[in-house]
Each structure stands twice: as structure tokens, then as C-alpha cells.
Amino acid sequence: MKKLEGKNVVVTGGTTGIGLASAKLFHDEGARVLVTGSSAKSVELAQAELRDVAEVVRSDTGDPADVRALFERVKRDMGGLDVLFLNAGIVRSAPIAAFDEKDFDDVFRVNLKGPFLVLRAAIPLLRPGASVVANTSMTNGIGMLGGGIYAASKAALRSFVRTAAAELVEQGVRVNAVSPGPTDSGIIAKGERSATEVRGIEEYLASKIPMKRLGRPEEIARAALFLASDDSSFMTGEEIVADGGMTRV
Ligand SMILES: NC(=O)c1ccc[n+]([C@@H]2O[C@H](COP(=O)([O-])OP(=O)(O)OC[C@H]3O[C@@H](n4cnc5c(N)ncnc54)[C@H](OP(=O)(O)O)[C@@H]3O)[C@@H](O)[C@H]2O)c1
């Protein structure tokens, strides 16, 4: 029996990385999947890669009008929703002393306001038994040099998951988080960094992980699948850390 047979799923930020791997896995498990991305380029590439796997829609998670349009479409095309993966996120790194205000606003807009806008719009469509999964980050529980603003946005998202879980219990909807450690998704290469710099960061991060390697998007997708499916039917408000032991070992 497939774990998401007949389920309707929306993955925000599903055009690359962890969201893309999750879209493929959820499809393999029997779901009808719709993914979003904000840039025309990632949407176009994903439309080619996910042909016959998922619908790919351009929708900026931090833009209320885009989010409204997205869920009008979900309502029209899918009717109801069984799984919502709040996955879209961005990283900006710099020490607090040098952190740019626009970067601060961008990070909180995508990583916190986005999940709020999307969940608010999705609530009327979430059917009893539905599961919401947010993608937080293991940085939300530690102090990480240069990662403070990103980590703070993910700590706020962790808090948001708890309250959402409390508010949606009556509706029969569970809300949990998957909290990845450094994962080889390409996210580190997205800033204005040279290939050498990216390699240096990846090697540094791998050296800090007891398993001595980065995670793979497919490994995070499997943790998200556990939370999305009925396998986690007695869990809500929880966060699963998948970080190769970085914060626990
Ligand atoms: N990789 C890691 O080491 C790691 C660790 C912990 C947590 N995470 C979290 O995992 C999630 C996925 O990240 P990833 O590593 O898979 O990175 P990624 O490959 O960069 O994927 C990010 C996805 O989000 C989309 N996105 C970005 N801004 C968006 C917006 N405003 N509206 C809609 N979609 C948007 C991107 O598409 P566009 O480019 O088209 O916008 C892309 O599909 C993020 O929340 C991230 O914080 C990642």
C-alpha cells in the first residue's frame, strides 16, 4: 500500500533541492502533487523535470496575491488538500555586525511570512486527517556563526508550528516540522559565491557533522514523508531533526 495513495499535496518551493526530491517521492507514494517556485527559471526547469510527476506553478510564497491565486487554483483543480509541505526557504549569511537590512526582510518574508500566508490560505481546504509539514532547520536550536538571522527565522517557524498544531487539532489536521542539517541541495551555491567558496563551506560543514557528510535531499524527503503520512498519526507539534548527528552527537 502506498503511503499517500489518492492524497492531494502542495509543496512550496518544490522546483529544486529538498522540495523537488519530496515531490518525486510523494508522487511515487501515490499522491497528486502541485509544487511552487518563485523564479520563472526554476519553474520552467522543474516543469520539464516533473512532467508526469507534478504540476509546477509560479507563486511567490511571500506575496499575498500570489498565495491567494494559488489556493483558488488548488480549490478549483483539486477540491481539498491532504498534505501541505511548507518548504520554500532562502538563506542569507553574514555576521550580525554586517548583516544587511534588506536581507533580513527577505529572509523573514520567505521563511516566516510565507508559511503564515500559505497556511492561512490552505486552512479552509485542509481535510480531516490532513498533515502540514514545515521545513525548519537544525540551526534554530544552536548558535551558528554567520547564520543568526536565518536561524532566527527558523526558530520563529518552529514556534509557529506549535501554535498551528494547537489551533488545527479540532479540524483533525496535524502540524509538524522536519529540521534538516546541512543538505546537498544546491542552496549554498545560490548566493554570489565562487565554486571554490561553495566547496570550502560544504567541506567545513561536513567536518562539523559526526557522519562527516552533508545530507541528501532524498533523505530529508523521507523524513517529510513520514510526517506527511499516517505513519506519524499520533504526532503533532513535533520537530524531527535529520542532521547526521550535528546537534545531538
Ligand atoms: N539545504 C540545507 O542545508 C537546508 C538545511 C536546513 C533547512 N533547509 C530548508 O529546506 C528548505 C528547502 O531548501 P533547499 O535546501 O532544498 O534549497 P533550494 O534548492 O534553494 O530550494 C528552495 C526552493 O524554494 C523556492 N523558493 C525560494 N523562495 C521562494 C519564494 N519566495 N516563493 C516560492 N518559492 C520560493 C525555490 O524556488 P525559486 O528559486 O524559484 O524561488 C526552490 O524551489 C528551505 O526552507 C531551507 O531553509 C535547507
* pLDDT tens digit sequence for 34-46: 999 999 999 999 9
> Which amino acid would we find at residue 187?
I
Atom of ligand 1 nearest to the CA of 88: 24
Residue pointed to by grid coordinates 492531494: 8
The grid coordinates listed for 205 are 560543514
- Enumerate domains of the chain plus CATH numbers: 8-188+217-237 (3.40.50.720)
The mean per-residue pLDDT over the stretch 171-188 comes to 96
The string of pLDDT tens digits covering residues 88-99 is 999 999 999 999
Q: Which of 33, 35, 70, 90 to mutate to test the pocket of ligand 1 (most atoms within 8 A of CB)?
A: 90
Helix 148-168 × helix 101-108 angle, to 10°: 20
Residues within 6 Å of ligand 1 by CB: 12-19, 36-39, 42, 60-62, 87-90, 110, 135, 137, 180, 182-183, 185-187, 190
Q: What is the pLDDT of residue 186?
A: 86
21: alpha, beta or left, given left = phi > 0 and alpha = psi -120 to 50? alpha
C-alpha 163 – ligand 1 centre gap (Å):
23
The reported pTM is 0.98
Q: What is the pLDDT of residue 142?
A: 95
The string of pLDDT tens digits covering residues 100-125 is 999 999 999 999 999 999 999 999 99
pLDDT at 28 over 80: yes
Rounded Cα distance, 210 and 246, in Å? 6
pLDDT > 90: percent of the chain: 93
Rounded Cα distance, 60 and 249, in Å? 37
Please tell me the residue having the least CA distance from ligand 1 atom 10.
Answer: 135
C-alpha 1 – ligand 1 centre gap (Å):
30
The string of pLDDT tens digits covering residues 189-225 is 887 788 898 899 899 999 999 999 999 999 999 999 9
Q: How crowded is the C-beta side of 221, counted as CA atoms within 13 Å?
A: 22
Q: What is the pLDDT of residue 29?
A: 98
Is the CB of residue 36 less than 8 Å from the CB of residue 63? Answer: no
C-alpha 171 – ligand 1 centre gap (Å):
28
Catalytic residues: 150, 154
Atom of ligand 1 nearest to the CA of 89: 45
Helix 17-28 × helix 217-228 angle, to 10°: 50
The string of pLDDT tens digits covering residues 137-154 is 999 999 989 999 999 999
pLDDT at 79 over 90: yes
Residue 102: enclosing H or E segment and its boundaries?
helix 101-108
Q: What is the pLDDT of residue 189?
A: 83
The string of pLDDT tens digits covering residues 41-65 is 999 999 999 999 999 999 999 999 9
Q: What is the pLDDT of residue 38?
A: 98
